[in-house]
Structure 1
Amino acid sequence: MAATNSAMEEELQRLSACAVVACLCRERDDVEPEAVKRMLCSKLGVLDNDIKVTRHRPEDFLIVFEHQHHRNAALELQRPQVGNIVIHILPWRILPYSNLIQLRHHVRICLERIPAHAWNESIVKRAIARACDIDYVEARSKRRDDTRALCLWAWTYDPSDIPKVSWLTLTGSSATVHEGVAPPRGRSGLTFKVLVHLDTVEPPPDEYDNSTPRKIDWHYSVVDGERAPRERHDPQSDARRDRRRDDDDDDGRGRRSDKRNGWGARMFRSLSRALDKSREQECSESRHSRRYDASSSTGGWRRQAAAAFPPRAS
């Protein structure tokens, strides 16, 4: 997604006023733009430098006049012909080439892991431009008061289209070449995995002109919708507590108390530990499976996160 600039707006106005498109009434690919140009110069009295004809799609030709009155005269021609082929001339318009889209959801986005030297609006656009049109970057992020995440507001058609992960590649602008050494072929760069956190969604107003913002929970270093890693102060598993209780029975010198050192007791404890170890391994595999399923879920608002590796250039 890209915003228009003043140069694009000026060119839009120029083409709307001075350009037409031409369609051949028969399917032929041997009609050259020069032939169309000669026909129009002859019928309209246009100087050679005041008209440009190029092949075009989905129509056959794009014709741009230097002066608007020549464009208007071309539209009034009745069934002009190139050789024995009739062409149909229509005004150039931008709408037939596009679909109207309304960006009505206002969203707050926090971008994590953009390198500090690249905190600017141009880089932000590259990270989220596929689904958003930037409204503004927050002042705190411009001042770099908190560099954990770059925060901004944007407009989007559907918050679910916002990616959870964006791959940002910064290439070098220059290369050092030593005397007598051939310059390196291609370019090199650094790729960063940017986490795109959807923080707040302000939906479009309802029929009563009301809009209720929705705050979305997210965590640093965790892709939206995935489970956060277990904190260090979380309670230990029952299996580990049981093993520590066994260790508490030790007399402090690496030996168990006499009351548990009988041959039968040692055999029973050995079999019990083997069974506990097998059960613990099964539980660990089960937890790993559930964690994988959770990390691959859509996470509510948005679709599946990007792959674990950056896409290859096509």
Structure 2
Amino acid sequence: MEVTYAPASPPRRQRQSHGVVMHYRAMEHARFVLKHHVVLLAATDSFNAANPMKVGRTIEALLRIGPHLLRVTRHHPEDFLVHFSVPADRDTLLRHNTINVDGVPFRTKPWRLDDHAVRQKWLLHIRTVIERLPLDMWTLEGAEEVLGRFCIIDRLDSHTIERRDTRTFACWAWVWSLTDIPTRHCLSCFEDAAGLVVEMQGFSPPLQASRTVPEPPEGERSSLLFHLDPSKTGPQASSAPQPLVSVAAVFWLRRR
């Protein structure tokens, strides 16, 4: 019996992907709160019966504060995350290197951004060429919408700015690895607020029957081709015309 897979079936999903996120204001605010209000607890014994309620009561008795001034949740890879309403309580708990919950020691540590991440310096500065990009997206913002998840857009190529040739769109970008940029990419463009219900944000209608289902979004789908110019690694590279090589061709040449 032949099995037909739906477009979103698990066997067709990618096992791994890569994305780029640029800092935004809400992220900076969240980091500020985590640095000044949060303490992480890591158990010295992996076998314990501690839970958020027991941890919260232990901290309340230790610091002599009310239960409304902290919130304890399970966390990974540490065991618990404690969020204090008052930063001074957070500092007081950090002065205790360990706390005991039902006889099990828990180490206290502040939240740090680079505890579970690896800092990288991206050294590849390449010229990326896109075929079949819609003309209404021939802007820096359009390049970021298309390539922003794979790399960091630096600027548009001079040929693109001058519109000498509208068959291909070119820009300069920073990448970690050439493998992060695919050879072919499908792009779907939708109108603003497509697929959304116009209502008060954060509040749903009280009755299930009264919830409005938006119209299915309809947009334009384009198939784009990405090419990389491996001979140019920066704006100071030679200005002589070089053949454009696709990602697949680059790896085929390397294997030979």
TM interval, shorter chain, is 0.5 to 0.7
Alignment of 1:273-312 (within 5 A): 298-300=248-250
Decide whether aligned partners of structure 1 residues 142 and 54 sit closer, same or farther in structure 2, where only a CA change above 3 A counts. Answer: farther
Kept after mapping to 1: 8 A contact 2:195/2:216: no
Is structure 2 residue 189 aligned with structure 1 residue 158? no
Q: Secondary structure at the match of 1:154?
A: strand
Distance 2:227 2:219 in 1: 25
Q: CA deviation at 1:6?
A: 2.7
Measured in 1, the distance between the counterparts of 2:111 and 2:151 equals 28
Task: Specify the code of the residue in structure 2 equivalent to 1:81.
Answer: N
**Is 1:217 aligned to 2:247, yes or no?**
no
Which residue is equivalent to 1:103?
A: 122
SS of the counterpart of 2:115? Answer: helix
What SS class does the counterpart of residue 80 from structure 1 fall into? strand
| Structure 1 residues 300 and 114: CA distance shift in structure 2, 3 A | same
Determine if contact 1:203/1:213 at 8 Å carries over to the other structure: no
TM-score, normalisation: structure 2: 0.67
- Distance of aligned partners of 1:19 and 1:184 in 2 relative to their CA distance in 1, 3 Å threshold: closer
Q: Distance in 1 between matches of 2:252 and 2:127?
A: 14
Distance 1:174 1:8, change over 3 A: closer
SS at 1:64's partner residue? strand
8 A Cα contact 2:98 2:105, kept in partner: yes
- Opposite residue 133 of structure 1, the aligned amino acid is I
Q: Hey, what's the Cα distance between the residues in 2 that align with 1:148 and 1:216?
A: 17
For 1:84 and 1:29, the matched residues in 2 are separated by 9
Pairing 1:194–2:224 present = yes
**Percent identity, aligned pairs only?**
25
Question: Match of 1:167?
Answer: 186
Paired with 2:168 and 2:138, the residues of 1 have a C-alpha distance of 10
Q: Which residue is 2:101 aligned to?
A: 82
State the Cα distance separating 1:185 from its structure 2 match.
8.0
1:26 aligned to which of 45, 49, 64: 45
Q: Deviations over 1:277-302 (max 9, x none)?
A: xxxxxxxxxxxxxxxxxxxx931268
SS at match of 1:57: coil
Does structure 1 residue 63 correspond to structure 2 residue 85?
Answer: no
Q: Distance in 2 between matches of 1:24 and 1:151?
A: 52
- What does 1:110-129 align with in structure 2 at a 5 Å threshold? 110-119=129-138, 121=140, 123-129=142-148
Tell me which residue corresponds to 1:50.
Answer: 69
Segment of structure 1 superposing worse, 140-149 or 163-172: 140-149
In structure 2, distance between residues paired with 1:138 and 1:50: 54
**Structure 1 residues 83, 35: closer, same or farther in 2, change over 3 A?**
same
Contact 1:107 1:156 in 2 (8 A): yes
1:180-236: CA deviation from partner (whole Å, max 9, x where unpaired)? xx96886554432111122463269xxxxxx74586413xxxxx44xxxxxxxxxxx
Query: Does structure 1 residue 36 correspond to structure 2 residue 55?
Result: yes
Residue 183 of structure 2 contacts residue 248 of structure 2 at CA under 8 Å; is this kept in 1?
no
Structure 2: give runs of 5+ residues left out of the alignment.
1-19, 197-211
| Whole-angstrom CA distance in 1 between matches of 2:252 and 2:179 | 4
Cα distance, 1:49 vs structure 2 = 3.5
The alignment's C-alpha RMSD in Å is 3.6
What SS is found at the alignment partner of 1:96? coil
Opposite residue 116 of structure 1, the aligned amino acid is: L
Counterpart CA distance in 1 for 2:223 and 2:102 is: 59
Alpha-carbon deviation of 1:59?
A: 0.8
Shift of 1:58: 0.8
Q: 1:20 to 1:217 in 2, by over 3 A?
A: same
Distance 1:8 1:26 in 2: 33
Cα distance, 1:116 vs structure 2: 3.0
Query: Which protein shows a greater Rg?
Result: 1
Structure 1 residue 44: deviation in Å?
1.4
Structure with the higher helix share, 1 or 2:
1
The number of equivalent residue pairs is: 216
Structure 1, unmatched stretches of 5+, are 176-181, 205-210, 219-223, 226-296, 305-314
TM-score (norm 1): 0.57
